[in-house]
Structure 1
Amino acid sequence: MLGFIPDEVKLSAFTTNQYGNLQASCNGKLYRKCKNYSQYNACNWMVSYDDEHDYCLSCRLNDIIPNLDDPENMTLWFRLEQGKRRLLYILMTLGLPIKGKTSSNPSGLSFSFLRDEIEDQYGNELTVKNFVTTGHASGLITINLSEADHSARIDMREKMGERYRTLVGHFRHESGHYYWDKLIAKSDKILEFRKLFGDERLGYVESMQDYYKNGPNQNWQTVWISAYASMHPWEDWAETWAHYLHMIDTLETANDFDFSLAGNKIVSPIPAEKLHDQAYIATNFTHIFDNWCQLTRALNGLNRSMGMDDAYPFVISITALDKLRFVHEVIADQQD
């Protein structure tokens, strides 16, 4: 049996000892399955044997989950949990703080998975009674359950004119809003943020209305990481943050599989030691981006050989690269 151990940030095999308890092969310690693992097989994270909680660190962050009496919801929830755990894994790997919502921390991180409320009117005609908007508010990340329906998500991607739309992308984007509040809003980095991304005090609602009415900025490719990023500085940050997590997670996976391109090994983007020296932080980012360019060129070539869409449908401008470097520096500061 396999299970992920959050405090070790490691997947481990487990054996059953003479007392019937699960023992991790990686450290010899005893664990229990998360309740959502043992009851629904919707999670694969473990809970320390002496921990009083029934749920793992990931599932404790859930505020609302779908109605599991509906069999379809079970499948969609499973996919959402996969995306959420992948997000949490890379956040842990980068040493970013993950603190859940409590009475003493009302703006802590939490997740709500909701479905549009549908009502039947005029015979068989279905109408949306309450539409769920994927987004972030005061630590709560809400994901519309339909995003876990592959056909519905692809349909929305086409309607929105997007080349990339995934579940894990939603989680990474919304986490960017959460960490903007935690790492930028009241920090000494706010002035540098405004220099790179713009003034976030610009009216958000007005910017959103303008974006959906008139479309993205005409020269968005030269300034922003995506068309949506051109809507408002907050969205620019969230899109850039998500993109950085795309890079780190994919490069770490490639390194774990011992990828080499043209004789050059893809190195791990996670430094073996904490980054303190600013020159080293800058050099580390340069290596990350160089590896990323090599890997994504190969990924796109492989996908095209299979007749599939590009795995990486982006071109990073110099301005967008400076923003990615800023995200890298902000995260490096958290590793002190």
Structure 2
Amino acid sequence: MKSFRCRVCDNALFFENSVCVSCGTALGFSRAERAIVPVDENGRYVDASGLVWHVCANLNLSGCTWLAAIEGGQCFACDLTRTRPNDEDLEGLANYPVAEQAKRHLIVDLDTLGFPVVGKDSDPVEGLAFDLLSSVDENVVIGHEDGVITIDLAESDDAYREKVRAQLAEPYRTMLGHFRHEVGHYYEWQLVRGDERMARCRELFGDESKDYQAEIDRHYSEGPPADWAERYLSTYATMHPFEDFAETWAHFLHISDTIETAGEYGLTSVAPVSAFSNFRDVVTGIWVPLSTALNMINRSMGKDDLYPFVIPAPVLDKLDFVASLRGAPDSSAA
């Protein structure tokens, strides 16, 4: 995540700021400029080309600070949400902003790394959409199917999410992590195409044609293989090749974004992650020492490790493959 500054008074800003706390200027996030920009008293911003942008209609509903092309309309990020809690679901609406914040962060991740983000409003078949559902009155299963990512808004609650994390013996569980994992399924569906790419994916992750439900049943009845830590990032990744890919994809985003943020705040001085030809060099040369230091800082505060994972050698090959997909053609360009 970039380090932002107010264009009016040069005060430090953060990604979700809608007002500069120093000078009081109203703000909006320009996806095109990848910058926080000042808006006038009517919530308008005029870019360098003369286009007029407007504060998103969902500022007060979900805390969205992004700029929309149409006055009174939604921004690009909000347009990706297909379903949200109804207005009578007060608990769902209370949890909703956390999910939307994570989704906006995800889109910036993808933009930074050069992955196309195409909504189902533009491409109903191959596009991406989000169903952000409240589990107050129904069971919600987090997942992906045909470009639709479903998120359980109950995961916005820290106490609930920690309870689930402990029950599943997971080292890490966050709302942003859910978004990054599930969008990995989407991009595997979109980008792992063609005989050569499919063959390499199967070589690294396994045969994706395995019966998914049977593999789930096996995983929860037998558990992971005894040597899982030698070949996988997590026990969940051992369940099915699709899950191994999605876990690897999520860590690719975790690592890339954290390194960028560390660079923006002066904790490391490296070229952008996208400038490296091999992602394994990013991991071994930058990420391992940086994450070790960050883990030690967390421990100094009595906190759990920031990155509670060990990356075995086979996972470096998997991360390299995922990173290589940045140059893969997407379905919208086909």
In the superposition, the TM-score normalised over structure 1's length comes to 0.85
Deviation at 1:185, TM superposition (A): 4.1
Residues 65, 41 of structure 1: CA spacing in aligned structure 2 closer, same or farther, 3 A cutoff? closer
- Measured on the aligned residues, the alpha-carbon RMSD in Å equals 2.3
1:233: which partner in 2?
Answer: 241
Residues 104, 110 of structure 1: CA spacing in aligned structure 2 closer, same or farther, 3 A cutoff? closer
User: Hey, what's the Cα distance between the residues in 1 that align with 2:227 and 2:256?
Assistant: 27
Does the 8 A contact of 1:13 with 1:24 survive in 2?
A: no
Does the 8 A contact of 2:92 with 2:154 survive in 1?
A: no
User: Hey, what's the Cα distance between the residues in 2 that align with 1:328 and 1:14?
Assistant: 36
Q: Structure 1: any 5+ residue segments left out of the alignment?
A: 119-129, 272-279
Choose from 77, 87, 93 the match for 1:74.
Answer: 93
Q: Within 5 Å, which residues of 2 pair with 1:11-160?
A: 11-16=36-41, 20=42, 22-23=44-45, 29-37=51-59, 39-48=60-69, 51=70, 54-102=73-121, 104-118=123-137, 130-160=138-168
Worse-superposed segment, 3-12 or 202-211: 3-12
User: Hey, what's the Cα distance between the residues in 2 that align with 1:192 and 1:308?
Assistant: 39
2:212: which partner in 1?
Answer: 204
1:299 matches 2:301: no
1:320 matches 2:315: yes
Residues 253, 202 of structure 1: CA spacing in aligned structure 2 closer, same or farther, 3 A cutoff? same
Does the 8 A contact of 2:85 with 2:133 survive in 1?
A: yes
Residues 47, 159 of structure 1: CA spacing in aligned structure 2 closer, same or farther, 3 A cutoff? same
- What letter matches 2:65 in structure 1? N
- What letter matches 1:232 in structure 2? H
Deviation at 1:52, TM superposition (A): 7.1
- What letter matches 1:269 in structure 2? V
Which has the larger strand fraction? Answer: 1
Aligned residues: 306
1:281: which partner in 2?
Answer: 277
1:331 matches 2:326: yes
- Deviation per CA, 1:171-192, whole angstroms, max 9, x where unpaired? 0000000001100045630000
Q: After TM superposition, where is structure 1 displaced by more than 6 Å over at least 4 residues in a row?
A: 25-28
Q: Within 5 Å, which residues of 2 pair with 1:142-291?
A: 142-186=150-194, 188-260=196-268, 265-271=269-275, 281-282=277-278, 285-287=280-282, 289-291=284-286
- What letter matches 1:6 in structure 2? R
- What letter matches 2:277 in structure 1? I
- Indicate the SS of the match to 2:273: coil
Choose from 311, 322, 334 the match for 2:306.
Answer: 311
User: Hey, what's the Cα distance between the residues in 1 that align with 2:118 and 2:148?
Assistant: 12
Identity of aligned residues (%): 38
1:3 matches 2:24: no
1:126: which partner in 2?
Answer: none
Residues 307, 103 of structure 1: CA spacing in aligned structure 2 closer, same or farther, 3 A cutoff? closer
Does the 8 A contact of 1:33 with 1:45 survive in 2?
A: yes
Q: Structure 2: any 5+ residue segments left out of the alignment?
A: 1-25
User: Hey, what's the Cα distance between the residues in 2 that align with 1:68 and 1:10?
Assistant: 31
User: Hey, what's the Cα distance between the residues in 1 that align with 2:248 and 2:238?
Assistant: 11
